[in-house]
């Protein structure tokens, strides 16, 4: 498989409605945002530069006090194809933002739905190769822990250990085969999301990514991992905290017990 394969049109069902702008939407980039005024325009610019055929965006903003929602609206006005913005009132968590964004992407007719953070931790240059992996898979996970993957070389030894062992712990709790269980950079076939059932997902915070991995494994869909190097954000602030991590571990343990 080559990166060029992404430039080939992807077949679509003849009866599916065209995307609102009349451009057939194939690849929807779903981006949750909370205070990403600096990073969102850069992300959109870099993603557009990848020349992905049938590209569109779905931004889910939770009333960011820094005005990210207005910036998203302006980007939507400038973008020639499908650029949807969902404005929600107040911070409601990453998980519910993705659930709402996935549904909008499906409703707009997208065939390949990408999860991506706004902060450029997920390098847009990886997108063409990652999306092309769906030619032979149901889910492609951009992975730090597969051959060729990694984390920012600037990370200290201690930070690498926390991240690595946190991932190992979550894999053990859920019995996951996927090596990067907390990955937030993935692409799904629309059929995969329909099979899993977006409204069945329960975890609304950091545990959401692992729950998605768990649901994919339980549904028996074909998951592949594609290497990338996770980069530290250079602007804005992370919303991650120790409390969020502890909450996720407790919720995931409960998820495994309940099934």
Among 240, 246, 250, 254, binds ligand GDP (CB under 6 A): 240
Write out the binding residues for ligand GDP, residues 55-84 only, by CB under 6 A: 60-62
Q: Please report whether residue 238 would count as binding ligand GDP according to CB under 6 A.
A: yes
Selected range binding ligand GDP among 29-37, 72-80, 139-147, 151-159, rule: CB under 6 A = 29-37
Q: Does residue number 98 form part of the binding site for ligand GDP (CB under 6 A)? A: no
Size of the site for ligand GDP (CB under 6 A): 20
Tell me the C-alpha distance between 166 and 173, whole Å.
11
Beta strand segments in the chain, E: 27-33, 55-61, 83-87, 112-115, 139-143, 150-151, 186-189, 223-227, 229-230
Given ligand GDP, Mg ion, none, residue 33, with its beta carbon under 5 to 8 Å by kind, binds: ligand GDP
55 backbone dihedrals φ, ψ, rounded to 5°: -75, 140
Minimum distance of ligand GDP from residue 138's CB (angstroms): 24
- Characterize the bridge pairing of strands 186-189 and 112-115: antiparallel
CA atoms of 82 and 113, how far apart (whole Å)? 13
Q: Quote the least distance from Cβ 186 to ligand GDP, whole Å.
A: 13
Determine which residue in the list 30, 34, 112, 130 makes contact with ligand GDP, applying CB under 6 A: 34
Looking at the chain, the number of H-run helices and the number of E-run strands are 8, 9
Is residue 115 at the binding interface for ligand GDP, with CB under 6 A as the rule? no
DSSP-derived pairing of the beta strands 112-115 and 223-227: unpaired
Give the separation between CA 69 and CA 225, rounded to whole angstroms.
32
Verify binding: residue 33, Mg ion, rule CB under 5 A: no
Is the separation of the CB atoms in 72 and 40 below 8 Å?
yes
25 binds ligand GDP (CB under 6 A): no
Determine if 207 is a binding residue for ligand GDP (CB under 6 A).
no
Judged by the rule CB under 6 A, the positions of this chain that interact with ligand GDP are 32-34, 36, 60-62, 91-94, 97, 117-119, 121, 233, 238-240
């Amino acid at each position: 498989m080559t990166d060029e394969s992404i430039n080939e049109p992807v077949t679509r069902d003849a009866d599916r409605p065209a995307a609102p702008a009349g451009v057939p939407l194939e690849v929807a980039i779903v981006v949750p945002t909370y205070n990403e005024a600096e990073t969102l325009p850069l992300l959109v610019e870099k993603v557009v530069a990848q020349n992905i055929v049938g590209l569109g965006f779905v931004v889910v903003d939770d009333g960011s006090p820094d005005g990210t929602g207005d910036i998203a609206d302006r980007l939507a006005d400038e973008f020639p194809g499908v650029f949807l913005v969902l404005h929600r009132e107040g911070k409601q968590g990453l998980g519910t933002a993705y659930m709402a964004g996935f549904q909008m992407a499906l409703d707009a007719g997208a065939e390949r739905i990408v999860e991506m953070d706004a902060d450029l931790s997920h390098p847009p240059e990886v997108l063409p190769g990652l999306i092309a992996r769906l030619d032979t898979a149901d889910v492609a996970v951009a992975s730090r822990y597969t051959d060729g993957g990694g984390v920012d070389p600037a990370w200290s030894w201690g930070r690498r250990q926390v991240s690595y062992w946190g991932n190992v712990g979550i894999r053990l709790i859920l019995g996951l085969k996927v090596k990067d269980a907390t990955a937030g950079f993935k692409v799904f076939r629309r059929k995969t999301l329909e099979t899993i059932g977006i409204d069945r997902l329960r975890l609304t915070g950091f545990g959401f990514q692992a729950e998605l991995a768990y649901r994919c494994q339980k549904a028996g869909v074909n998951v592949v991992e594609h290497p990338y190097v996770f980069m530290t954000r250079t602007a804005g602030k992370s919303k991650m905290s120790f409390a969020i991590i502890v909450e996720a571990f407790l919720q995931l343990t409960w998820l495994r017990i309940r099934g």
